[in-house]
Amino acid sequence: MPDKMTHFGFRDVPVDDKASHVRAVFDSVAERYDLMNDLMSFGIHRLWKRYAINMAGIRPGQAILDLAGGTGDLARLMAPLTGPDGHVVLSDINAAMLNKGRGTLLDRGISGNVSFAQADAEQLPFPDNSFDLVTIAFGLRNVTDKQTALHAIQRVLRPGGRLLILEFSRPAPLLKPAYDLYSFSILPRLGRLIARDADSYRYLAESIRMHPDQQTLLAMLEQAGFEQCDWHNLSGGIVAIHRGYKF
């Protein structure tokens, strides 16, 4: 019986192999990940993340799970908002990225209300009803089975809790020609020059095209049991924030 296939960028790979391919990408780029984010987005990714945090409605004392948290950009912003009685779990499937995030937060003096967990978004090692908020920024497109991950997130959220997804999406048609030119011509060159890895950033561009568009992802949230779901486009739809609630 042939292996079940899924996409890795524009390539088809066996489902069981995708996680290892993604891991190799982030092992390669971990050390220069933050620098590349600043360069390839002209620093705008920091504004996107701050906007997402503002939409999250974080209150003191809340328990938050930051999935695919990478180098800790969201955790760094959220930890002070939860206060000493709250808690943020910075989680990533990739050990190199998680170690980078841990080091970044410790260097900034953020440690008292943050813990770290290497975890697969499809198989979250947390009890039911554990978190008030789950965030995932620029990570969902790398998950092999996104629907399974959304169900897992819904399970670990407490009633009244919310999911917030910040992810690349479908830009407005007028932006598409310039966006495609940048994504497939300039971005890999930046990757080669700065991260010494053009292939990983070519995968980034391809993975964005294979990710569900705004309306499709909204339907996936509803299928996973989330309610009052919505999305908000940023930068003409290059990025979108999706929200859903568990009641």
Q: What is the per-residue pLDDT across 5-42, written as a single tens digit (0 to 9) for each?
A: 998 889 888 998 888 888 888 888 888 888 888 888 98
Counting residues of the chain whose pLDDT is more than 70, the rounded percentage is 99
pLDDT value of residue 45: 94
Residue 164 Cα distances to 49, 87, 129, 153, 231, angstroms: 11, 17, 16, 11, 10
CATH number at residue 75: 3.40.50.150
Residue 172 Cα distances to 91, 176, 178, angstroms: 32, 7, 11
Which of 96-100, 157-161, 169-173 has the weakest average pLDDT?
Answer: 96-100
Domain tally, the chain:
1
Per-residue pLDDT reduced to its tens digit, 169-225: 999 999 999 999 999 999 889 888 888 888 888 998 999 999 999 999 999 999 999
Domain with 193, as residue range(s), is 5-245
Structure tokens at 200: 């990983």
Counting residues of the chain whose pLDDT is more than 90, the rounded percentage is 75
Mean pLDDT of 107-116: 92
Mean pLDDT of 69-89: 95
pLDDT at 43 over 70: yes
Structure tokens at 19: 């996680």
